[in-house]
Chains A and B, each alone.
Chain A
Amino acid sequence: MSAVLDPKGHAGDHAHDEHHDHGAPVGWRRWVFATNHKDIGTLYLLFAFFNLMFGGVLALGIRAELFQPGLQLVNPELFNQLTTMHGLIMVFGAIMPAFVGFANWMIPLQIGAADMAFARLNNFSFWLMIPAALMLATSFFLPGGAPAAGWTLYAPLTLQMGPSMDSGIFALHLLGASSIMGSINIIVTILNMRAPGMTLMKMPMFCWTWLITAYLLIAVMPVLAGAITMTLTDRHFGTSFFNPAGGGDPVMYQHIFWFFGHPEVYIMILPAFGIISHIIPAFSRKRLFGYASMVYATGSIAILSFVVWAHHMFTTGMPVTGQLFFMYSTMLIAVPTGVKVFNWIATMWKGSMTFETPMLFAIGFIFVFTIGGLTGVILSVAPIDTQLQDTYYVVAHFHYVLVAGSLYAMFAGYYYWAPKWTGVMYSETRGKIHFWLSLIFFNITFFPMHFLGLAGMPRRYADYPMQFADFNMVASIGAFGFGFAQVYFFLAIVVPAMRGKGEPAKANPWVDESGKGAEGLEWQVPSPAPFHTFETPPKLDATATRVIG
């Protein structure tokens, strides 16, 4: 049975059992008082999946309303609440926690550490998210309904919101605190707890991307906290940071928000790059091409992410020099991102590829994410952005990078590592069904949005002109298909895995008869991974991918 749900999961094939039977809590205590990185990782992943479903239902509410012109299901007030809450929940409740879940599970296993550096802090940063999520979700029932100012919470519209805005601000503060604590934990773990012999430049790419992501988080979450705190004092304590009626500057809010918001975009994609950088080599049976340039490209993207923020604000009316600077710096990001894509393809080149579900999702990621990347380059051109800013083209663009980017990479990562977590293999047929349903319905949903945006349909519209009807109908059909594909994923793949149904997984299920395939320390421990791993630092070979002796 798996280490995921079985309270006695650690009582199996482990040499140190006797020494560690120190009354580790069972039942609900195991989870509430969890200090084990694997348990906390599981909690994060389940929490994120729940939010993915919740945010998804909100999205389906949006798409159902937009199925036809005219208001049929929700009024414009509720429509704005749905778009706002969909964005907030998906960004802060689904994607970010899911990557922290992957980090918790995989970083100690990949670097040969016994656990995360600060086990109780780890517990706290997870459980802090529960009151935050409750505050966000229940804001629908406060007078005036949930926040409806868009996930970007632009002033001065936020100053018109009801009490739910305050509850949203506090929720974001808690989520931000949780992220900062999680990041500190990850940085300390990676820098201090690597097994002897694993130098930084031998470290797995997933750890590298998370190390850089954690620094980004520590740098920008306080900036968001500042912006929303100023919003709060504008709302209640008579300050006028952003309130034009008192001489405040609404554009300043946007600058501060996007100084957080653009690095945030990379926070949501860099760990995905890390996951893909493991899966492509494993199923190509070939080492990752250009490891060093991968590391440098990740670093460059992170640094550049601090100097591009105002490309979200081309239509606010910047001076021409400002527009030129942000246009050039944004275009420059295409270079390191391109390097990554080229490296992945060079890894596949002359490999010996097989196409299990993790590989399918990884290839799907490269293919569809690149479409989102290229529309990003098109949007970076300020005169084109004049036409496309705040239209459905932007909606299409960021869903191509966040759904086909981040989410696909997480699915790839799930199929790749779940055998290690649960000790059982998923059904390959079901995995493939999930992949093809997701890929097809994703594109049916979001590809037509490019046309809507080019034709000028503004985003966050509860109703739209008749000429936009057909593409909206297609997008809505696709959205429901995509939603059902994820329910299928949960019921047909995740639930059986948690119940331990399926072929038992080998310690390294991704290695073929010739010994080629997945590499890394996580495959050096049994499947499911015992409750405690690497209690004494392992001795590594020269590549730092194998335990010797």
Chain B
Amino acid sequence: MITMNVRKTMSKTTQHLAAIVASSAAWLSTAAYAVNDLPGGPAVRQLNMHPAVTKIAEEQHWLHWFMMIICLVIFVAVFGVMFYSIWKHRKSVGHKPANFHESTAVEIAWTIVPFLIVIGMALPATKVLVAQKDTTAADLTIKTTGMQWKWGYDYVKGEGEGIAFVSTLDNAQRVMSNNGGPKAGEAPDDYLFKVDNPMVVPVNKKIRIITTANDVIHAFAVPAFGIKQDAIPGFVRDTWFRAEKIGDYHGQCQELCGKEHAYMPIHVKVVSAADYSAWVAGKNKEMAAKADDPSKVWALADLKARGEKVYAANCVACHQATGKGGGAIKALDGSAVVLDADHGKQIAILLNGANNGAMPAWKALSDTDLAAVISYTKNNWSNQTGQLVQPAELQAARK
């Protein structure tokens, strides 16, 4: 209860302070630039940490105020004494020097008391630190890879697993920086924060961030979440956050990583669970589309070449390079199903499996891969049918 009140008072104090400084400094340069606060990023002339969006960040704010107040009290007390002494014990007001130069009692006291104060500081700090390091039981795990000079995001566990993309600073802003910075009146509020592909995460879920890097050390940081974790090449480290508010949050690389260090921002979009699912679906479709367009019409030679690779990766262990199988494994070379002019028979077996799963279902492969491998078997060994199966047929068969 007390801490809650203290917190409220503190945030009010900050607002007042900010208001005073803001009004007195309005003539300064940002006024000329007509820049606004960036929600989820820095505010103009911000005096304190970013507004907290996670419990951990809130605790960090509290700790900072707690430490600030103790330090300020000590500072005022110690220098109150010093300036009192400077005022009173001057030669110019005729003060004669005393002769004392040691006092064991006093010296022990001012060793013990700071020691106790330090213990008082360490206790709450320990509590927050232990909570901050607990990355277990995450709902969603995202691997972030620092690269010179962009961020790669791989959704490795949880909803959206398999999504992977790279996030880069908007090139127009990079060019703007090279040209001497934004001109007055046309400065974007998100200058140096705008990226092409933000990381998207659901609200109120525990997100574990695994960091690594491809080249040199970078650091992944989002101040509003209270996280900062170095991304170290050859090593994986982790941190976590549970964002409690929908919105856009911004951070920047925090470890010197070469010339474009200032130009690899971090943008995390926190969305509702429903929006997140929609984003995942969209992203999956987009990725599949990017991987292979199923409506593409292939030439036989190309499709066969691709099919050979798919065969080597998935089929060869059972059906053998000769296509003759062995034992319970049916031969493909000369197989009636393979030679049949009706493509549907072979497609059905590949999509659904056969022989009670002795032949597994391969529907996890893409339409193009399946079309390629079928075309390959139809035109290899002694099977020279000349038949060509297009991905579109697979797409149709799946429905």
Using a CB–CB cutoff of 8 Å, the interface residues on chain A facing chain B are 68-72, 75-77, 80, 148-150, 154, 156-157, 160, 244-245, 247-251, 284-293, 315-317, 319-320, 323-324, 327-328, 331-332, 334-335, 338-339, 341-343, 345-355, 363, 366-367, 370-371, 374, 377-378, 381-384, 386-387, 389-391, 451, 454-458, 460-471, 473-474, 512, 516
Q: Known: A157-B258, A324-B126. Contact between A466 and B101, CB under 8 A?
A: no
CB within 8 Å for A367 and B30 given contacts A160-B216, A456-B252? no
Query: Which of B37, B102, B227 makes the CB contact (< 8 A) with A386?
Result: B227
Report if A156-B216 is in contact (Cβ < 8 Å); known contacts: A69-B191, A350-B98, A352-B90. Answer: yes
The verdict on B121 contacting chain A, using a C-beta distance below 8 Å, is yes
A230 to chain B, nearest CB (A): 16
Which of B95, B114, B257 gathers most chain A CB within 10 Å?
B114
19 CB contacts below 8 A, A to B, read A70-B179, A77-B259, A80-B258, A244-B233, A291-B102, A315-B228, A317-B230, A332-B115, A339-B114, A350-B85, A352-B90, A371-B75, A390-B219, A451-B47, A458-B254, A460-B261, A465-B42, A469-B28, A473-B28
Asked if residues B217 and A156 are in contact (CB atoms below 8 Å), the reply is: yes
Report Cα–Cα, A240/B107, bound state, in Å.
Answer: 51
* A-B contacts, CB under 8 A, total: 329
Contacts of A355 in B (CB 8 A): 90
The distance in angstroms between the C-alpha atoms of A90 and B235, with both chains bound, is 33
A contact patch SS? helix
Let me know if A466 and B30 touch, CB within 8 A. Answer: yes
Whether B89 pairs with A350 at a CB distance below 8 angstroms is yes
CB of B234 within 8 Å of the partner chain: yes
B26: nearest residue on chain A (CB-CB)?
A470
Chain A residues lying within 8 Å of B110, measured Cβ to Cβ, are 338-339, 342
Known A-B contacts A157-B258, A387-B60, A466-B187; A251 and B78 likewise in contact (beta carbons under 8 Å): no
Q: What's the Cα separation between A349 and B180 when bound, in Å? A: 54
B290 at the interface (CB under 8 A from A): no
Among the interface residues A154, A249, A469, which one has the most CB atoms of the partner chain B within 10 A? A469
Contact assessment for A465 and B41 in the assembled complex, using a CB-CB cutoff below 8 Å: yes
Beyond A351-B89, A351-B97, 14 additional contacts (C-beta under 8 Å) are A70-B181, A80-B259, A157-B256, A284-B89, A316-B237, A352-B96, A363-B82, A384-B63, A384-B64, A387-B49, A389-B228, A390-B219, A468-B42, A471-B45
Q: Judge whether A455 and B47 touch: CB under 8 Å.
A: yes
Distance in Å from the Cβ of A67 to the closest Cβ of chain B?
Answer: 9
* Closest residue of A by beta carbon distance from B118: A331
Closest A residue, CB atoms, query B193? A465
Min CB–CB distance A227 → chain B (angstroms): 15
CB of B307 within 8 A of chain A?
Answer: no
Measured CA separation A12–B114 after assembly (Å): 53
Stretch at the interface among B127-135, B328-336, B362-370, B376-384: B127-135
Quick check: B101 and A324 within 8 Å, CB to CB?
no
B181 & A285 in contact (Cβ 8 Å cutoff): no
Q: Which of B66-74, B274-282, B388-396 contacts A (4 or more CB under 8 A)?
A: B66-74
Chain B residue with the shortest CB-CB distance to A149: B256
CA distance A474 to B42 in the complex (A): 18
Neighbouring A residues of B226 by C-beta, 8 Å: 383, 386-387
Q: Does chain A have a CB within 8 A of B229?
A: yes
A125 to B30, CA, bound (A): 50
B322 CB, min distance to chain A CBs, angstroms = 41
Tell me, in angstroms, the Cα distance from A335 to B118 when the chains sit together. Answer: 8
Contacting B50 at CB < 8 Å: which of A348, A455, A473?
A455
B170 part of interface (Cβ distance < 8 Å): no
Instruction: Evaluate contact between B182 and A350: CB separation under 8 angstroms.
Output: no
Taking a contact as CB atoms under 8 Å apart, the answer to whether B125 and A76 are in contact is no
Give chain A nearest CB distance to B54 CB in angstroms. 12
Which residues of the partner chain B approach A366 to less than 8 Å between Cβ atoms? 82
* Inter-chain contact B259/A148, CB cutoff 8 Å: yes
Q: How far is the CA of A323 from the CA of B126 in the complex (A)?
A: 9
Question: 1/0 per residue B138-164: CB within 8 Å of A?
Answer: 000000000000000000000000000
Residues of A within 8 A of B189 (CB): 466
CA distance A181 to B49 in the complex (A): 46
- The residue in chain B whose Cβ has the minimal distance to the Cβ of A248 is B234
The reply to whether B95 and A339 contact each other, CB–CB distance below 8 Å, is no
Closest to A461 in B: B262
In the complex with contacts A72-B181, A516-B97, A467-B46 CB distance below 8 A: yes
- B216 & A353 in contact (Cβ 8 Å cutoff): no
Q: Which residues of B contact A334 (CB under 8 A)?
A: 114, 118
Q: Does B33 make an interface contact (CB < 8 A)?
A: yes
What 0/1 pattern do residues 81 to 99 of B give for CB contact below 8 A with A?
A: 1100110011110011111
**A467 and B75 contact, Cβ closer than 8 Å, known pairs A331-B122, A455-B46:** no
Tell me, in angstroms, the Cα distance from A366 to B81 when the chains sit together. Answer: 13
Q: What are the residues of chain A within 8 A of B41 when measuring CB–CB?
A: 465, 467
**Which residues of B does A touch, CB under 8 Å?**
25, 28-30, 33, 35, 37-38, 41-50, 56-57, 59-60, 63-64, 67-68, 71, 74-75, 78-79, 81-82, 85-86, 89-92, 95-103, 106-107, 110-111, 114-115, 118, 121-122, 125-126, 128-130, 132-133, 176-182, 187-193, 211, 215-217, 219, 221, 223, 226-230, 232-235, 237-239, 251-263
* Neighbour of B234 across the interface among A247, A377, A391, CB < 8 A: A247
Q: Closest approach, in angstroms, between the C-beta of B179 and any C-beta of chain A?
A: 7
Q: Are A250 and B217 in contact (CB under 8 A)?
A: yes
Q: Is the CB of A317 within 8 A of B107?
A: no
B101 neighbours in A (Cβ, 8 Å): 286-291, 347
Please name the residue on chain A nearest to B84 by beta carbon: A349
* B228, A387: Cβ atoms closer than 8 Å: yes
* A375, B270: Cα distance in complex, Å: 33
* Chain A hits for B261, CB < 8 A: 76, 80, 458, 460-462
8 closest A-B pairs by CB: A70-B181, A244-B234, A317-B237, A455-B46, A350-B98, A287-B101, A467-B42, A456-B223
Residues of B within 8 A of A390 (CB): 219, 228, 254-255
Interface centre among B56, B96, B115, B259 (most CB of A within 10 A): B259
- In the bound complex, do residue A470 and residue B97 qualify as a contact, i.e. CB atoms below 8 Å apart? no
Tell whether, in the assembled complex, residue A332 and residue B217 are in contact, meaning their CB atoms are under 8 Å apart.
no
Residues in B neighbouring A293, C-beta threshold 8 A: 102, 107, 111
When C-beta atoms are compared, the residue in chain B nearest to A80 turns out to be B259
Smallest CB-CB separation from A451: which chain B residue?
B47
**A378 surroundings in chain B (CB, below 8 A):** 64, 67-68, 71
Q: Which B residue sits closest to A68, measured CB to CB? A: B181
In the complex, chain B residues whose CB is within 8 Å of the CB of A315: 219, 228-230, 254
Question: What residues of chain B lie closer than 8 Å to A469, measured between beta carbons?
Answer: 28-30, 33, 35
Separation in Å of the B174 CB from the closest CB of chain A? 9
CB of B321, distance to nearest CB on chain A (Å): 36
CA–CA, A127 and B47, complex, Å: 47
Distance in Å: Cβ of B165 to nearest Cβ of chain A: 24
- B37–A467 contact, CB under 8 A? yes
- Chain B residues with Cβ below 8 Å from A346 are 106
Query: Min CB distance, B364 to chain A, in Å?
Result: 34
Instruction: Tell me which residues across on chain A come within 8 A of B68, comparing CB atoms.
Output: 378
Chain B, residue nearest A366 (CB): B82
A454 → chain B, closest Cβ, in Å?
Answer: 5
Evaluate whether A451 and B46 lie within 8 angstroms (CB atoms) in the complex, with A349-B85, A353-B91, A469-B33 already known: yes
Whether the pair A454, B47 counts as a contact (CB closer than 8 A) is yes
Chain A neighbourhood of B257, CB < 8 A: 157
Given the complex of chains A and B, what is the CA–CA distance between A293 and B178 in angstroms?
A: 56
Q: What are the residues of chain A within 8 A of B252 when measuring CB–CB?
A: 456, 458, 461
